[in-house]
Amino acid sequence: MRIDVFTLVPHAFAWLTEQRPIAGILGGELDLRLFNYRDSTPLRAGQVDDEPYGGGAGMVLRVDVVAAALDAVYAGSRPRRVIALSPQGTPLTQPIVEELAAEEHVTLLSARFEGFDERIVEHLATDAVSIGPYVLSNGDLPAMVLLDAVARRLPGALAEGSGELESFSEQLGGGLEYPHYTRPADFQGWQVPEVLLSGDHGRIEAWRREHVR
């Protein structure tokens, strides 16, 4: 899968690309490309945003700048999924993550300050996605959230089977995963449920099913 991210701070993604699972699949199942709007802006001095029409505080990411950035990379043919990260977008859920992980190519657009000129969302993006009902300073953390959630669904990202039985997965009926415990079995009187120490796989399975939330 190819994921292209358009941002003003490509280096912000360095940390994420050094972490598993992304580090393990980069250059293999995941082809991640980072583009800076400033590298293709048609405006002078690397300008990318401008004052809002109608007045008010903040700067707005310009539509001509984003169009030029997409043209510079795709030369007129746009990818199937171009996602603007925006608080006004569709809330990100695991089914949306699964849908995107099945795509061959996804493009993410990040904004900052007051956000996108609305024509970017209407005409250049195919979707707008929000990572939650709160406002962050820019779209880079939202892009990384989406990137990480999608990347871990790609083949080879996780150990065999560990991505199937998780919170929000089909196997758990969209529910929350049962609790996990590890050694010591007794810590200051806080006991691990006896059934998990029993070695009885049938009972353990039943206990886990009961504790899906």
Ligand X SMILES: C[S@@+](CC[C@H](N)C(=O)[O-])C[C@H]1O[C@@H](n2cnc3c(N)ncnc32)[C@H](O)[C@@H]1O
| Least Å from the CB of residue 203 to ligand X | 43
Among 95, 132, 174, 179, binds ligand X (CB under 6 A): 132
Task: Write the binding mask 40 to 79 for ligand X: x where contact by CB under 6 A, - elsewhere.
Answer: ----------------------------------------
Piece of the chain touching ligand X by CB under 6 A; list 10-18, 35-43, 131-139, 154-162: 131-139
Pairing of strands 81-91, 60-61: unpaired
Distance in angstroms (rounded) separating the CA atoms of residues 62 and 72: 16
Residue 27 φ/ψ, nearest 5 degrees: 85, -10
Distance in angstroms (rounded) separating the CA atoms of residues 166 and 171: 8
| Least Å from the CB of residue 202 to ligand X | 44
Residue entry with tokens 């939650």 = 132
Among 50, 114, 148, 166, binds ligand X (CB under 6 A): 114
**With contact defined as beta carbons under 8 Å apart, do 107 and 80 qualify?**
no
Q: Which is nearer to ligand X, 1 or 116 (CB)?
A: 116
**Before 184, cis peptide (omega within 30)?**
yes
Among 70, 106, 139, 150, binds ligand X (CB under 6 A): 139
Tokens for 105, please give them: 């190519």
| Interface contacts to ligand X, rule CB under 6 A | 85-88, 110-112, 114-116, 130-132, 134-139, 142
